[in-house]
Structure 1
Amino acid sequence: MSGKFLVSLTNAKNDQDKATVGFVVANAAVASGQETVVFLNVEGAYLGSKGYADDIHEEGFAPLKQLMDQFIEAGGSVWVCSPCYKKRNLTEEDLIEGATIVGGAKVVEFLTQGAASITY
């Protein structure tokens, strides 16, 4: 087992339940000692921008912003798809603290190192 886990998150306000559950699972993975990455892509790229997640709170879960902050504080990595972010007219100045803009090659490299992956 590689000890690596990737959550590919393709949703944001378009499906707040999936966006929230993605970070719940990511927090569980990082808490269990996995090197964990959340890859924000497609609509999920919006979550990489400051203030966007502040008002997302699905019933039965902690607020999304809190889940994201906990994940980063626990040592998880947030990668934002570069072309997805640019397509949405977002810039590095908009990027949340703790996130990194990456290209697809970075994700492929992580997966080829044996990372398990799940998509929301």
Structure 2
Amino acid sequence: MVNTTDYVGTLFDDTSNPNKITVAYTMAFKALEKGHSAALILMVDAVYLAKPNSLDGVDIGAPFEPAAKLLEAFVEKGGQVLVCGACMQHNGVAESEIDPRFTIISADDVIDMVMGAKGSLQLT
């Protein structure tokens, strides 16, 4: 079971949609900056973003920071990156392939986190 958090962002797209990736990490980091706990859940095709260095080159330009920089700042400040285990299985992403700082979660965990959060943002 994953801990509850104040803010939950869910991301569904891979690098084919850099705008959504950037906004997801930007908003999750902003939640941390405002003193909230925050988690970003990678679901559907976003599970490919759980692989190390997958955000390299994702940069939509000013006023936004590059996605890899946002990820590092988010994790460093205590943000959780969570990865849907069923989505990983469906997309053929093995546990050994994902960033060791990330946590694999179940559908039950997703529901519990979203229902227990003070706020959420779904980027679908």
The worse-fitting range, judged by mean Cα deviation, of 22-31 and 79-88 is 79-88
Q: 1:51 to 1:3 in 2, by over 3 A?
A: closer
After TM superposition, the structure 1 = structure 2 runs for residues 26-41 of structure 1, keeping only pairs within 5 Å, are 26-41=28-43
Q: C-alpha distance in 2, partners of 1:3/1:81?
A: 16
- The one-letter code sitting in structure 2 at the alignment partner of 1:84 is C
The TM-score with structure 2 as length reference comes to 0.88
Instruction: Note if contact 1:26-1:71 (Cα within 8 Å) is conserved in structure 2.
Output: yes
After TM superposition, the structure 1 = structure 2 runs for residues 1-12 of structure 1, keeping only pairs within 5 Å, are 4-12=6-14
Greater helix content:
1
The Cα of 1:99 is off from its aligned counterpart by 0.6
Structure 1: tracts of 5 or more residues without a match: none
**Match of residue 110 from structure 1:** 113
After TM superposition, the structure 1 = structure 2 runs for residues 1-120 of structure 1, keeping only pairs within 5 Å, are 4-60=6-62, 61-120=64-123
Instruction: Note if contact 1:40-1:80 (Cα within 8 Å) is conserved in structure 2.
Output: yes
Q: C-alpha distance in 1, partners of 2:98/2:5?
A: 27
Structure 2: tracts of 5 or more residues without a match: none
Instruction: Note if contact 1:17-1:58 (Cα within 8 Å) is conserved in structure 2.
Output: yes
**Identity among equivalent pairs (%):** 24
The count of corresponding residues between Structure 1 and Structure 2 is 119
Instruction: Note if contact 2:5-2:39 (Cα within 8 Å) is conserved in structure 1.
Output: no
- The one-letter code sitting in structure 2 at the alignment partner of 1:76 is G
Q: C-alpha distance in 1, partners of 2:28/2:101?
A: 15
The worse-fitting range, judged by mean Cα deviation, of 107-116 and 80-89 is 107-116
